[in-house]
Structure 1
Amino acid sequence: MSDNSVSDSPTPQRADTPSADRTGYRGTKVRRQRVRAAWLFLTPMLLSLLIVAAWPLLRTFYLSFTDASLSDTTGGMFIGFENYLVHDDGAWYGLLADPVWWTSVWNTVYFAVVSVSLEVVFGIIVALLLNAEFKGRMLVRAAVLIPWAIPTIVSAKMWAWMLNDQFGIINHLLMLLGIIDAPLAWTADADLSMWAVIMVDVWKTIPFVALLVLAALQMLPSDCYEAAEVDGIHPLKVFFRVTLPLITPALMVAVIFRLLDALRVFDVIYVLTSNSTSTMTMSIYARQQLVEFQDVGYGSAASTLLFLIISFAVVIYLYLGRRQLGVEQ
């Protein structure tokens, strides 16, 4: 080959040439512009959160260190951690020494774990049924969403009438079927009341979990299922080894939303059982201290601990979920 042909061949561009520098500069400039645009769009939302969420939260934190009452929230004196825990005359007082508070914590955690677990299991089953091909599938999908569309107060009041021990239809049907011999006080019996509110909550929120799982099922590739069908793999193995891992991200979203709702549950339990100790949650305990006992400082301390417990549970769940999905920390 001649010298002229060698000289005419294109010379490879080095990474440190001015052209490469300009390309990298343009990429960095575009990235900075996108970041600025993102912050510009997020600023109104962040300001709104600061007004409607951050300020009330910080005020609650402050009131938890005072002895403010409902009649005079601005005249409370700073008392430090006395609302949380204080030792006086050889005994411990405060929220952390109150057995009713710890009962409400246990009730809340128990309610959250059992209800969310049942909702996930039944939600997956309902989603799998709705994902199958059958006549009238769209009508059934719309009907399944009805419990989720009903306001919580309305559905809780409706179930309170159905679970009534004297004229409730639930007892009537169970006695008609011979399952029970006498009416049961579902919302008054300490052994049944927690399961009653769990049943009502599960009935209402199964459609939410099923909707998220169904959306994930609709996006799954059909190639995996066709290959499994050709290989003759059992449907249960296909579900646990193919379907479940693929819908895990959607399940994590459903669980985190339901966990947040379950840990701060108030309305459904208060309508069904009011201030009963057997079903009292942290939210009901805080409301009782704030409204009925008019102790804003003590109630704010309960609300603060509720916020911290929920935050801790969510952080732990997200951390474990990221590790399970293999996301780098």
Structure 2
Amino acid sequence: MAETAESSSRSPDTEGSGRQNRLQRYRDLQFSEEELAVILLTPVVSFLFAVSFYPIFDTIVGSLHTGYVLEMNPRQFVGLENYRNLFGEGPYLDQLLNGGGIWNALRVSLIYTFVSVPIELALGLGIALLLNRDFKGKYFAQAAILFPWAIPTVINARIWAWMFNGQYGVINDLLMRVGILETQFPFLAKPDTALIAMLFITIWKTSSFMALILLAGLQSIPDHLYEAARMDGASRLRQFRDITLPLLKPTLLVALIFRTLPAFQAFGLPFGLTGGGPSSATTTLVLFDHQLTFNRLNFGEGAATATLITLIAAAIAMIYVQTLYEPEVR
């Protein structure tokens, strides 16, 4: 009863003064801004080092060694031998993926990236311009376009694999009903059409993601700029060229980086759709690296492939930044 009475006797002023005393004790430590920045950033930098920087460093080291993780023998330093095996006729690549090799995987990744991303950007910008207008059901439409992007990639791949199936797929059935096809066509069993199907699926899925990013950029452009342009007699095309595109450059940079790097590192869609086939026609670099590392258990060349993927992705990001980044654009 005494403890209850004592706790009930505490007033809000007493608790407030206690908090002020604690704050005063923190202020008495008298950290400089630089020291405070170091204290606050240390946990974040430590986390990034543990989950990002160290794995990258360990992958680079692993690419210079040979050996298997499951073996008891220590890894042996071989220098650039893993890289020479990747781009030559290495002993592990003669039968891998029916002779596809890293050159085929690089070709597929570049086609997949630099065909799909520009189309996604154009479609996403068109959708964003439409959604930026005022109309009934605007917010419902903004939420609805995210549905394709919200579906997990592997699940999305399996759904489309069933739809493109040459025997019971709904796409074959629809095309035969409208007279485009006379017989069933195995879309995913032929190299050319399998890659085209994969491009179609990724464009369908991620154009809405591009639209969402670009819509945010469009909504940040002040309306008075368009009003002034209309008063000067500027057409819609000129408003788009002289106002929208220049002020949208920072957003375009973000959208391109956010889509190009995942596209270049695509794994879930080719893995779930075709498994990389037929005849390595849809084997991207990351899928090639996965098969090399975990199917063939060649961890040295797998680490070398992962290192190359990281370097190419970093180069692409730097090219985008150098081309589109304008710090004084506004």
With the length of structure 1 as denominator, give the TM-score of the two structures: 0.82
Worse-superposed segment, 70-79 or 57-66: 70-79
1:326 positional shift = 6.7
Worse-superposed segment, 243-252 or 32-41: 32-41
* Mapped partners of 2:56, 2:232: distance in 1: 57
- 2:287 corresponds, among 269, 272, 284, to 284
* Mapped partners of 1:64, 1:262: distance in 2: 24
1:311 aligns with 2:314: yes
Which residue does 2:241 correspond to in 1?
A: 240
1:71 aligns with 2:70: yes
* Mapped partners of 2:265, 2:285: distance in 1: 7
* Mapped partners of 1:286, 1:85: distance in 2: 15
1:84 aligns with 2:83: yes
1:50 aligns with 2:49: yes
Q: Is the 8 A contact 2:93 2:101 kept in 1?
A: no
1:208 aligns with 2:209: yes
1:218 aligns with 2:219: yes
Which residue does 2:16 correspond to in 1?
A: none
* Mapped partners of 2:169, 2:242: distance in 1: 44
* Mapped partners of 2:91, 2:37: distance in 1: 45
- TM-aligned CA distance change 1:241 to 1:282, over 3 Å: same
Q: Deviations over 1:235-257 (max 9, x none)?
A: 22221221111111111101011
- TM-aligned CA distance change 1:113 to 1:215, over 3 Å: same
Which residue does 1:29 correspond to in 2?
A: none
* Mapped partners of 2:187, 2:58: distance in 1: 39
Partner SS state of residue 187, structure 1 = helix
Partner SS state of residue 288, structure 2 = helix
Query: What is the aligned residue count?
Result: 291
Matches within 5 A, 1:99-138: 100-138=101-139
Gaps of 5+ in 2: 1-30
Partner SS state of residue 184, structure 2 = coil
Q: Is the 8 A contact 1:85 1:94 kept in 2?
A: no
Q: Deviations over 1:112-149 (max 9, x none)?
A: 11111111100001111111111111111111111121
Q: Is the 8 A contact 2:276 2:284 kept in 1?
A: no
1:83 positional shift = 0.9
**What letter is aligned with 1:235?**
R
Partner SS state of residue 44, structure 2 = helix
* Mapped partners of 2:62, 2:73: distance in 1: 9
Matches within 5 A, 1:18-37: 33-37=32-36
Partner SS state of residue 84, structure 1 = helix
* Mapped partners of 1:275, 1:188: distance in 2: 11
Which residue does 1:149 correspond to in 2?
A: 150
Partner SS state of residue 191, structure 1 = helix
Which residue does 1:19 correspond to in 2?
A: none
1:80 positional shift = 1.7
Which residue does 1:294 correspond to in 2?
A: 297
* Mapped partners of 2:236, 2:243: distance in 1: 10
* Mapped partners of 1:161, 1:154: distance in 2: 11
Partner SS state of residue 181, structure 1 = coil
Matches within 5 A, 1:145-224: 145-224=146-225
* Mapped partners of 1:317, 1:94: distance in 2: 37
**What letter is aligned with 1:122?**
L
* Mapped partners of 2:229, 2:177: distance in 1: 46
**What letter is aligned with 2:217?**
A
* Mapped partners of 2:157, 2:39: distance in 1: 42
Q: Is the 8 A contact 2:106 2:284 kept in 1?
A: yes
**What letter is aligned with 2:177?**
L
* Mapped partners of 2:328, 2:166: distance in 1: 51
Q: Deviations over 1:82-138 (max 9, x none)?
A: 11116xxxx864899986201111111111111111111000011111111111111
Q: Is the 8 A contact 1:85 1:96 kept in 2?
A: no
Q: Note the aligned Cα RMSD (angstroms).
A: 2.4
Q: Is the 8 A contact 2:65 2:75 kept in 1?
A: yes
Q: Is the 8 A contact 1:70 1:291 kept in 2?
A: no
Gaps of 5+ in 1: 1-31
